[in-house]
Structure 1
């Protein structure tokens, strides 16, 4: 399974009451595919505020986005958690809906060891035929899955990719140790181009909500051998890559990108508690960043 080079970790639109806004979700899917050139959409991942979505809401989102995308891009369901049994059940329900794959985050809070991580992911893989993407994000989970554990898991046929947020070194080690058809995605927009240079396949992105077209151009330039042009795109985009997470102090994802989308005329509402929208200083920083 090739999910493409540019995958957007899609926000979940809410109305003023904090419920899923289905009309806004419909417009957002069209916008991300047609205008921002997303080849895949991760639904109900971190950027989709998965911790505050119920299972029922997640399944509704998987079904809705799959129907709306209508084969124009891959739809990847965020079904991972710190509970192996629950992750299996949600992944199986997503499979019945017909999604193209599932994203499985490293278990957070209970902090298993490397063998526990291997057994967690291999147990999920054994109970589904879906292509699976691992997701290592130690800044959120409190632990990091080692390159060696990822390489072991890559031997399982339906574990086909990983979203790697630990380091560029980790991207390189995994790319070197896994089969050629196992794809390594950067989970850090600012590392999208450097990750390609060390063997990465693409990016699972937040900034592609705003700059997906230019990110596609950057990736295409690099793959065609025009490294100078790719570097130019990277330098132009870097303020947005960094600013969405540092504006002007760290702001929880997806608070910044949701506000930035509103400024660009794509209304997706605010965030659910415990996340908060940008304060006045942060909002002014984002306005200067994206307008």
Structure 2
């Protein structure tokens, strides 16, 4: 399978009664795809999955899967264990699977773990490499070992910037393996190095602009890509100035896209000044950057 273009990890909107706002979720999914996204990510970290009940997770997945099917778009689902993977169906293009967090199993352990998951998963895997959350670094050589696992079709690459391993990986990318940028402020330089796309929460606020950025790099239109990349990096920094997705939710609510800015513990509302700065940079209702 081929994973290219913009994939947007959806939030889980809540209503005034702390219930999942399913109508708002469905509209957000439709609008994001209409604006140019290639697919959606359900139950990624942006969706606050650990704060959802099993029933809520099933309902969210049903809604997003229905939208993707109707729009002929790809669906990626956050799933990190054999049990979670076993529940996925053919409605899912791939699972977004986190490198084992906290235990720091070492690079050999990471490869062994993904070999095990690949053997039991009913869908292809996209490894989620985010060392500042997991505590586990991966070298370019190890990522190539992951790419050699038949069912591992790509990586959400969120290494915290552009370092030597990034340059090494991008200089010799594995064949038929998607490198999807996952650090929103650094997506432009990663695309310039040859990334095939991005999984970008900031695109909830400006989906058309992020889709245009990816298109511009794919087409070699640097006159469009460079200034747009600068603007989107500034927007992303503002949206991630407090723990994700608190600022994104606050901005979407302020512009009438979702019914409340509510997040569930352990997340709390961001400071008003942070939201104000983010709102000054984008208008989610028109997907127009200021």
Task: Tell me if TM exceeds 0.5.
Answer: yes
Distance 1:214 1:284, change over 3 A: closer
Instruction: Output the CA distance in 2 between the equivalents of 1:228 and 1:180.
Output: 29
* Pairing 1:77–2:77 present: yes
Instruction: Give the superposition deviation at 1:177.
Output: 4.0
Counterpart in the other structure of 2:281: 289
- Aligned CA-pair RMSD: 1.8
Cα distance per residue 1:116-173 (max 9 Å; x no partner): 1111111111002412100011111122222222111111111000011113233333
* Pairing 1:274–2:273 present: no
Cα distance per residue 1:169-195 (max 9 Å; x no partner): 333333344432101011112211211
Counterpart in the other structure of 1:92: 86
Instruction: Give the superposition deviation at 1:268.
Output: 5.2
Counterpart in the other structure of 1:235: 230
Distance 1:179 1:143, change over 3 A: closer
Instruction: Output the CA distance in 1 between the equivalents of 2:167 and 2:6.
Output: 19
Matches within 5 A, 1:98-247: 98-166=91-159, 167-169=161-163, 170-246=165-241
Give yes or no for contact 1:95–1:128 (8 Å, CA) kept in 2: no
* TM-score normalised by structure 1 residue count: 0.89
Distance 1:162 1:212, change over 3 A: same
Gaps of 5+ in 1: 81-86
Instruction: Output the CA distance in 2 between the equivalents of 1:179 and 1:147.
Output: 10
Gaps of 5+ in 2: 284-290
Counterpart in the other structure of 1:252: 243
Counterpart in the other structure of 1:83: none
Counterpart in the other structure of 2:30: 30
- SS of 1:47 mapped into structure 2: helix
Instruction: Give the superposition deviation at 1:275.
Output: 0.2
Instruction: Output the CA distance in 1 between the equivalents of 2:172 and 2:59.
Output: 37
Counterpart in the other structure of 2:256: 265
**How many equivalent pairs are there?**
279
Instruction: Give the superposition deviation at 1:17.
Output: 2.8
Instruction: Output the CA distance in 2 between the equivalents of 1:279 and 1:235.
Output: 25
Distance 1:28 1:61, change over 3 A: same
Cα distance per residue 1:235-274 (max 9 Å; x no partner): 222321211112xxxx100000011111232115311111
Cα distance per residue 1:24-53 (max 9 Å; x no partner): 11111111111x321111111111112222
Instruction: Output the CA distance in 1 between the equivalents of 2:48 and 2:111.
Output: 25
Give yes or no for contact 1:103–1:133 (8 Å, CA) kept in 2: yes
Instruction: Give the superposition deviation at 1:20.
Output: 1.6
Give yes or no for contact 1:154–1:178 (8 Å, CA) kept in 2: no
Instruction: Output the CA distance in 1 between the equivalents of 2:214 and 2:26.
Output: 27
**Deviating runs (4+, > 4 A) in structure 1?**
none
